[in-house]
Copies of this chain bind each other. A is one copy, B any other.
Amino acid sequence: MADVIALRRELHRHPELGYTEFRTAARVIELLRSWGYDVRFGAEAMDPTARQRVPAAEVMDASFARAQEAGVDAALLDAMRGGLTAVVATRRGGDGPTVGFRFDMDALPVDESPEAGHLPVREGFTSAVPGVMHACGHDGHTAIGLALAERLAAEPLPGTVKLFFQPAEEGGAGARAMAARGVADDVDRIFCMHLGCDLPLGMIATSGVGFLAVRGIEARFVGAPAHAAAAPEKGRHALVAAASALLNVQAMPRFSTGMTRVNVGVLEGGTATNVIPHRARMLLEMRAETLAEVDELDARVRRILEGAAAMQDVAVEIEATGSMPSLTNDDAAMRLVRDEAEASGMFSEVRDTHLVGASEDAGYLMERVQRRGGDATYMIMGTTITAPHHHFAFDIDEEALPSAVTLLERVGRRALAGS
């Protein structure tokens, strides 16, 4: 049996941003094939037009080149060209139900911590790609998915298992691109999962709640350049506009109607100190419990961006950069997870809900199953983390990985048996 911890460390060492998971997906495909799965990928596994936030050509090309240098099979790479990095693996058994599991594979634009206390440093498996890091645990997710696949391939199944390895969970809506291709339309029950989320090792929640709908916005401010000393009054200062917008966006009121979030995550502008900066680019996101509230935040953000630009006689172009829905968990799927978690004896505590407060595109796949009468849940596997998700010193406690595999195997076998 594959060693889930060794797999996770291998994946951690080679992180790839959303829609550039060439090496990761190829490794997933080869292992799944070796265990006898029917594996679909490239345009067969996803609808490229349903993607969002596809990276710039140079980012994609660099990752593609790294995969080529690493010796990834050319035919696989060819099928994935342009960022078609989704993988769907099927193993058919008896005429029992079709049970899906979904895992995400993408990493983040974060520079991994070089500090001695960071486990990947100590054990020598830090990111080999500068500026990219598995800082959200998706390396663990993919490793769990692969180990689960091997276990479920070991003996005949009463139904059909479908494993979804998705690209670009971090803002790219990879699940939407897969859902749009119809890959989940024959699934009766789907299980999704995340490690960590502030649930410590030994605990499990049969559902994560509080997933927020999210929308991203890119704003481009365009003022007028001028010599900063000879004629400052002839310039139109794009960064003064952007800074005012940033503070006002962050200062939007809390909503009494539910949780909201807002973050200006990126701001870049100007070229030199002796030129009044005439261009600035801002990336931000808004989250809320419902789409209506996201719409309200969106309207407020646009008002702020336009007002801030007007203050400085600067133009602003505003563009939506992507979004994700909220998600709903079903009691039946949650109960099944609780039963198996309790029966396994591996967990010190089994909760029905754990408040997450982030966003997740798994809802796209879950909704496809639910729409046809199936059920779904998004469970949280406890693991003690060393820093917040997305932090450069983030790490999981790897002890959580083997028990996650065992639990999912139990869940899968019971669901495949139709209970």
Contacts and interface: CB of A to CB of B under 8 A. Distances in A.
Interface of A: 108-110, 136, 170-171, 197-198, 212, 214, 216, 224-235, 237, 239-240, 242-248, 250-251, 253-257, 259-277, 280, 283-285, 287, 296, 300, 303-304, 306-313, 321, 355-359, 388-392
Given A250-B240, A251-B240, A273 B171 contact: yes
Contacts of A233: 253-257, 296
Of A242, A251, A280, A391, chain B has the most CB atoms within 10 Å of the CB of A251
Nearest to A234: B388
Contact of A246 (B109, B240, B283): B240
Contacts of A257: 233
B232 A392 contact: no
Given A214-B274, A239-B264, 14 more contacts: A197-B230, A234-B388, A240-B246, A240-B247, A240-B248, A244-B244, A247-B247, A250-B250, A265-B270, A266-B272, A268-B268, A274-B359, A306-B311, A308-B311
Nearest to A357: B256
Contacts of A259: 254
Nearest to A280: B267
Contacts of A226: 388-391
Contacts of A358: 227, 229-230, 274
A268 B234 CA distance: 23
A387 to B, nearest CB: 8
Nearest to A393: B225
Contacts of A224: 391
A214 to B, nearest CB: 7
A270 to B, nearest CB: 4
Given A170-B274, A230-B197, A307-B310, A225 B265 contact: no
A285 B275 contact: no
Contacts of A311: 244-245, 248, 303-304, 306-308, 311
B270 A267 contact: yes
A109 to B, nearest CB: 4
Contacts of A248: 240, 244, 247, 311-312
Contact of A232 (B198, B225, B256, B267): B256
